[in-house]
Structures are given as structure tokens and as C-alpha cells.
Structure 1
Amino acid sequence: MITLVKDIKEANGITHNGTMHADEVFATAFLSLYFGSFKVIRVSEVPIDISPNTLVYDIGKGKFDHHQSDARVRDNGIKYSSFGLLFEKFGIDFLKKMKLKNTKAIYNYFVKDFIEGIDAIDNGIFPDVKANYKVKTVSDIIKIYNPSYLSNDNEDEQFIKAVNLAESILTEELKNVVGKVEAGDKVKKLLNKTKGPLLILDEYLPYEETVLTSLAGKKIKFVIYPSNRGGYGIKTVPISTTDKTSRVYFPKSWGGLSNSDLEEVTGIKGSLFCHTNRFLMTASTLDTAKKLAEIALDVNEKE
């Protein structure tokens, strides 16, 4: 639980006031989750006579700030923000308190998947997205909580709202990462047993990253899995983590069709749906899904 205080002697943590950013908001949310309860004060300048036990972050040019000229930079070139610095200090211990398996793997995945993006944006490194629409990052969402033009919102009250949102996001993101790490181990084992281009899952697992980053995944063209809507999904595999073009596609004549229309063109009973962009199909049974994938592979070889 996070509490904003006015008396610096009551504070466990000190951060800057004024415009809020994702790094100190998520840093505060993380400290609240780590300590169970956390009292923070927002100031424009750090007093000299503070307790040595008080955590000062994103202000003051100390070990949890990143605005000084000698601020720390990762080996991959991404500069730390206050969030990354605090998670580096307390993250492993935080995960151990949660009694999780694969603590180091979860830590590394979480840093790469979530923290580095916030750190990079806070340091002026923005994602290179070429699109004719606005892409809002989690950092953009946090900015929304700053009092807007013509509003009478209280800055500190808005900060608490943003921190509460960040706590919820952190909690759910960690669940997601734990699931992906555990699923990744299962997918690796399945890939090592798989000889051909079809990866068949007996339960839905977050598989894509493992398939795309492992040597054994290079041969995979389609993944078949039980659908949460019933039946089975059949999905193409992208070329890489950065190129989302599919390695193969379903035949052009199948795109956008469903049910009897799709059954007629495929010649396979139980063909349910083919996405217009031909990267996803659904089928009534596992056997049907396999047949459709095999036909698609054969068509791709002939084209």
C-alpha cells in the first residue's frame, strides 16, 4: 500500500514532484509491492538532513537517480532509469519472497520484456514504429495521469492513482512473465521431440518467443493447439521476432472463408475458419487441423 506524506521524517522514500513519468511511478509501485507498505514524499529538492535509510530515487543524483552525467548504462546501450536501478537492487529478493521457481530466469525476462522499455523511453530512446496511427506505450498511459489543461485535478492525488494503476500492471505482468518462463521450458522440450514442421501442443502455451529464438524452432512452420473456443487453432510462425511475415501462409483461395464454404475449397470436413490474412485457421478436431496444415505445406512447396 502506498501512502503520500507531507512530513519528510515520515517518509520511507523520496522522489520528485511536478510532472510524473513512468519510471518513478513504477518505481514507487514496485517499492510498495516489495515492502508491503511504503510512505513517499514528492519534493523539488532533496534535503540534506535525511535518514540514511530513506530511499531517494529519480532525484538527487544518487545511486537510484539517472540524471547525472555518469549515470549507469547497460551493456546493450540502454540507460537505467530509477525503476531499473531499484529493480536491479531489490528485484531478485522480491521474486524470492514470492517463492517462485526459476527466479533468475523470471528476473531476466521481466527486465527485458518490461523494465528496459520504460527505462529507454524515460531516457529519450523511443520505439521506432512506422504506422499511420498512434501507438501508446505504458509510459504514455502514465503521462495521462498528469493534471490536464483546464482541469482542477490535484497533482498528488493523480500520482497516487497512477501508482495504483502501475501496481496492478506490475502484478499482472509478473504473472504473465512467470507463465511464459514456465511455458518456455515445456515448449523447448516439445521442440526437441518434434521432427517435422508442425509443432503440436496438447494445451495452449505461450510458444512464439521460444520457437523464434531456439535453434530447434527454425524448422517449425505451423503450430497447432487446443482453442479456448473449442476445436483447434492452426497458426503460422513469423520469420523472426522482428519480422512478423509468416514463414508460410495458408492458400490464397482459403482466406476469409468459413464453415461449408471453407470445407468445399479445402475438401476437408471440419474446416471452420481461415483468416483473411491467411495466418490463422480453426478446425473441429486435431486430425482435421493436421490435414489442413499438411495441405498448406504442400501448396507452399509447389508455389
Structure 2
Amino acid sequence: MNANPAKRQKSTKIIGTHNGTFHCDEALAVFLLRQTPTYAHADLKRTRDEAVLSTCDIVVDVGAIYDEAKQRFDHHQRGFTEIFGHGFDTKLSSAGLIYKHFGKEIIADRFQLPSEDQKVDLLWLKMYREFVEAIDAIDNGISQYPNDVEPRYRSRTDLSSRVGHLNPPWNVPTDAQAIDTRFLEASNLTGTEFLQRLDYYATAWLPARDILVQSISDSEHLTKPPGRIILLNQFIPWKEHLFELESTGKVTKDFIYVVYPDELAGSWRIQAIPVASQSFESRKALPEEWRGLRDDELSRVSGIDGCIFVHASGFIGGNKTKEGALKLARIALDK
């Protein structure tokens, strides 16, 4: 990850950022720049001296200038209102600025994909939503609670807090070199977590989308009219992908149930699709007369052998076989 200057190749490129107390946003911004071919082996100067910063090839989080052409990426200046776009309206920090301009390049290079590949776009947006946006918001002092409701508990285990804790305590004497060393540790921390999350989304989250798309196509014959039940022959995290595909018009919003294997239990599940991705309300819950029943009693009432349970709210149920779970789904559609 080239966090240690002694281990990096010599480079004529220089990244500039401010010295003194550091934050998560510029720690991540520096790491991200070092994932690009241009700045992979760049040296780092931490200073607020404008004369020194003017000698740097790129400057982040200091200097009161945002100008891509000049490679200046600060967000503290009066009148700065840059956002990521694409439905996001959180004001950017230096992390978001660097990610907005260099993120696709980093992702494409890491997975050896063409920059115009749709997967690059999906991962770029996913990583902003799940990783970078919170760093932008915290650094800019944007409350997670729009109405300033007092939270019921405090959390200081987020990435921004952990970076903050790497700064020397106020009452411990230190010097600039020691703080610079701690900054490199912070940059490595943010970058390690960024790449771990990115790798997960690329190798686990994104393949689930492809499986879901294929499963939707393969499930058309299950009902008349088609497009009511999705059969998955292996469990995948399907919910977020389904709502995204629906929102873009790539699939209809007619699906009611998803049937999939519970591989740990060796049985099958039927789950009602919620009305929204974070909602507890189902588009069509399993029949009221099944809810809260189990085993033989549920099989008797439903008329389907091998039943295991139906949750009291009707959002999920189980059967010992795929055929039994599909029967539950088909009957539930007509009730």
C-alpha cells in the first residue's frame, strides 16, 4: 500500500496536505491517490505553507481552492458546495472530492476492467453510498439526524473516530515527524478498510446481482401471468439488487415472493418482498391463517406437506423441500 515512504519507489510527483492534527478525509484521500498510476509512488508533504504547497503536483484538504485543472482539492473555502451527485446531496470533503474524480480509475485498475464497464459504475456508486459519504458528512459536521433528534447512544467506533484517536493526546509532547508517522498509519487504516470493502462488493455483492438477473429470467414460467415469484437455487443477498433493478425499470415491480434454500438448515424459505428495501411491510404477506403455525399444524391448514413455519407477521415461511416452498408461494398468491 506504499504507506511507508522508505519502501516506495522514488517519484517526481508530490502530494500535499496540511500538517498538524489529521482527519479521516485527507487520510483516505492520500491513500486513494496512491492507488492511481499517476500518484502511486508520490512523496507526501504535510504543511500549510502555500509556497511549499505550490510546488506539489496535487493538494488535498488545504489551500482553500477546488480546481480540478490545477489539481487542488480543498473543501473548506467559503462558497464550496460540491456534492457527489447521482442522487447524493452530502457536501464533499477531500475524501469525496478525490473519490469523485479518481474513484472510477482506481476501481477499473484494481479489477482490470475497462473504465466504461457498467460494473465499474455500480461499484463506484456503491462505495460512495456505503463508505465514503459518511466520511464526507462527519468531516463537514452534517448530522445523521435531519431533525437534530438526540441519539439514544453514542458511537465512537466509526472509521472517522478511529482515525481521530490516532492523533497524539493534547497533553503528550510530540513533534512534526511523529505526527506525520501517525498520519501514515491513519492513511493505511482508511485505505485497508476501503479496499477490503471494495473487494467484497466486487467479488460477492456484484456477482449476486448477475445471479438475480438470471434467476428472474429463469423464473418466468413459475406463474401465470409470469413475474410473480423469483426462484433462487442458492441464497444470495437479493433485496437491494431487486429494488435497484426495479427502480431503473430493468425488471417490473410485480414480484411478490422469493423462494430460496436455507443451506444451513437444509430446507427452503419463502419470503414476501417488502414494499421498500428497509420496510417491514410486505407487498403481500403470507396468508393470515398460516401465521404463527408450525410443522404438522401448518401442513394441515395449508394443505402442503413438509411445512416448517410461517412467521407471525407473515413475511417469511419455510418448507422442507423446494417444491413445498413453491406450493406455499403459489397458493399464497391467490389468497
The count of aligned residue pairs is 296
The equivalent residue for 2:107 is 95
1:84–1:270 Cα change, 3 Å? same
Within the candidate set 24, 29, 44, 1:40 is matched to 44
Q: Does 1:212 align with 2:243?
A: yes
Query: What is the rounded CA distance, in whole Å, between the counterparts of 2:261 and 2:53 in structure 1?
Result: 58
**TM-score normalised according to structure 2 size:** 0.69
State the 1:150 CA deviation. 7.9
SS of residue matched to 1:206: coil
The equivalent residue for 1:59 is 62
What letter corresponds to residue 124 of structure 2 in structure 1? Y
Query: What is the rounded CA distance, in whole Å, between the counterparts of 1:126 and 1:152 in structure 2?
Result: 33
The equivalent residue for 2:273 is 237
What letter corresponds to residue 134 of structure 2 in structure 1? G
1:48–1:149 Cα change, 3 Å? closer
State the 1:66 CA deviation. 0.4
What letter corresponds to residue 12 of structure 1 in structure 2? I
1:208–1:146 Cα change, 3 Å? farther
State the 1:290 CA deviation. 1.5
What letter corresponds to residue 78 of structure 1 in structure 2? T
What letter corresponds to residue 59 of structure 1 in structure 2? V
In the alignment, is the contact (CA less than 8 A) between 1:200 and 1:224 conserved in 2? yes
The equivalent residue for 2:212 is 187
The equivalent residue for 1:200 is 231
Q: Deviations over 1:68-104 (max 9, x none)?
A: 1232423553322111211222222222322134323
Query: What is the rounded CA distance, in whole Å, between the counterparts of 1:147 and 1:261 in structure 2?
Result: 64
1:221–1:132 Cα change, 3 Å? farther
Query: What is the rounded CA distance, in whole Å, between the counterparts of 1:186 and 1:64 in structure 2?
Result: 39
Q: Does 1:123 align with 2:140?
A: yes
Query: What is the rounded CA distance, in whole Å, between the counterparts of 1:197 and 1:139 in structure 2?
Result: 43
State the 1:157 CA deviation. 5.2
Decide which moves more: 122-131 or 220-229: 122-131
Within the candidate set 93, 102, 123, 1:106 is matched to 123
1:11–1:276 Cα change, 3 Å? farther
What letter corresponds to residue 193 of structure 2 in structure 1? I
1:211–1:26 Cα change, 3 Å? same
State the 1:257 CA deviation. 6.8
In the alignment, is the contact (CA less than 8 A) between 1:2 and 1:160 conserved in 2? no
Within the candidate set 57, 61, 70, 2:79 is matched to 70
State the 1:192 CA deviation. 5.5
SS of residue matched to 1:49: helix
In the alignment, is the contact (CA less than 8 A) between 2:3 and 2:185 conserved in 1? no
Decide which moves more: 242-251 or 195-204: 242-251
State the 1:185 CA deviation. 4.5
Query: What is the rounded CA distance, in whole Å, between the counterparts of 1:120 and 1:175 in structure 2?
Result: 24
Specify every segment of 5 or more residues in structure 1 that has no aligned partner in the other structure, as ranges: none
SS of residue matched to 2:52: coil
1:42–1:222 Cα change, 3 Å? farther
What letter corresponds to residue 235 of structure 2 in structure 1? Y
Query: What is the rounded CA distance, in whole Å, between the counterparts of 2:313 and 2:28 in structure 1?
Result: 37
Root-mean-square deviation (CA, aligned residues, Å) is 3.9
The equivalent residue for 2:223 is none
**TM-score normalised according to structure 1 size:** 0.75
Within the candidate set 4, 7, 16, 2:18 is matched to 16
1:96–1:280 Cα change, 3 Å? same
State the 1:161 CA deviation. 3.9
Decide which moves more: 236-245 or 163-172: 236-245
The equivalent residue for 1:169 is 193
Q: Percent identity among equivalent residues?
A: 29
Within the candidate set 24, 28, 31, 2:30 is matched to 28
The equivalent residue for 2:320 is 284
What letter corresponds to residue 209 of structure 1 in structure 2? E
Decide which moves more: 71-80 or 247-256: 247-256
The equivalent residue for 1:3 is 3
What letter corresponds to residue 292 of structure 1 in structure 2? L
In the alignment, is the contact (CA less than 8 A) between 2:267 and 2:320 conserved in 1? yes
In the alignment, is the contact (CA less than 8 A) between 2:268 and 2:319 conserved in 1? yes
Which has more radius of gyration? 2
Specify every segment of 5 or more residues in structure 2 that has no aligned partner in the other structure, as ranges: 66-71, 221-225
